[in-house]
Amino acid sequence: MTSWAAADPATSWAAADPADRGIVDALFEDLASPDPTLRDDTVYPIFTRWVREGSLDGSLTSIGDRLAAMHSHPEIQARTFATLILGTVVRRGVELGLPATAIDRWRFAFGSWWSAETDLRGYDSKLGWLHAIAHGADTVRAFALAATTSAQLESLLSLVRDRLLAPTDYLFAAAEDERVAYALAVILSRPALDDHVSWLGPIRAAFDAGEPGPVPAWVSNTQRTLNSLFVAISRGVVVYDGTGSASEPQIASERQVILDGLADVLRLPSYWLR
């Protein structure tokens, strides 16, 4: 634990100056802390609050670059909390009108990590919440709201699909399937998106190639996610900005096309669906 938070983290943060480079460096250092109380209850909330309030606007691009670079950190908690904070930076960057090249750079770094991450533990008894799947889904949602072209949105759909299809023994828990479905619903509700169903093709092919025997974890994860997505698209979703404020319900313009595409895939494992 760093010295500025050694005695009482809440008191130390109340007196901290976000313009102090040493404080920001300490934030980055403690994102890798194995202490979940320090990382999750102190560092994460103050870091995101400073970003949202604009206290770090003067160095937001460099902070985003540092967070993106942390996706290659050796400690899983550093990778998953860096990605969670990166989502907040992306949202603030859009508000400030940061160059698209910066957000593109962060999206590439994030996608390279999330598609390949193998440590998918949700909760660890010593490290606390890690949640690579859920945190990554939240960051996908931030990038979806930042996207301005159909190609960008389609690449995010492909990223999520490939994450779902990646072989794993980890079974989603703690609403991870719903967090992923929420991210997909936001992408699919964006007006710039042209192609709403092609991303489902490889999932359908993978399900169709299934063989008798125990259901692989990735199949269960994907099926549960698509079930949640069907509900989200049917009802529409509200988009929260991280402060508690929510948008009006977002309804996908091609809702019936998406629902028909989802049903076509879900009938393979759930043959009783009409």
Q: Is residue 131 part of a domain?
A: yes
CB 238 within 8 A of CB 248: yes
Q: Is residue 85 part of a domain?
A: yes
**Number of CB atoms found within 10 A of residue 16's CB:** 18
Tell which residue, 7, 143, 176, 8, has the closest CA to residue 68: 143
Query: Structural domain tally of the chain?
Result: 1
pLDDT for 248 equals: 73
> How is residue 238 written in tokens?
């509200």
Domain boundaries, position 141: 1-146
Q: Is residue 219 part of a domain?
A: no
**Number of CB atoms found within 10 A of residue 97's CB:** 7
Q: How many residues does the chain have?
A: 274
Q: Is residue 188 part of a domain?
A: no
Phi, psi of 135 (to 5 degrees): -65, -40
Q: Is residue 209 part of a domain?
A: no
Which residue ranges of the chain lie beneath pLDDT 50?
1-8, 10-11
Q: Is residue 256 part of a domain?
A: no
Q: Is residue 243 part of a domain?
A: no
pLDDT for 15 equals: 64
pLDDT for 6 equals: 42
Q: Is residue 75 part of a domain?
A: yes
pLDDT for 231 equals: 97
Residues 81-131: pLDDT tens digits? 999 999 999 999 999 999 999 999 999 999 999 999 999 999 999 999 999
Residues 216-238: pLDDT tens digits? 999 999 999 999 999 999 999 99
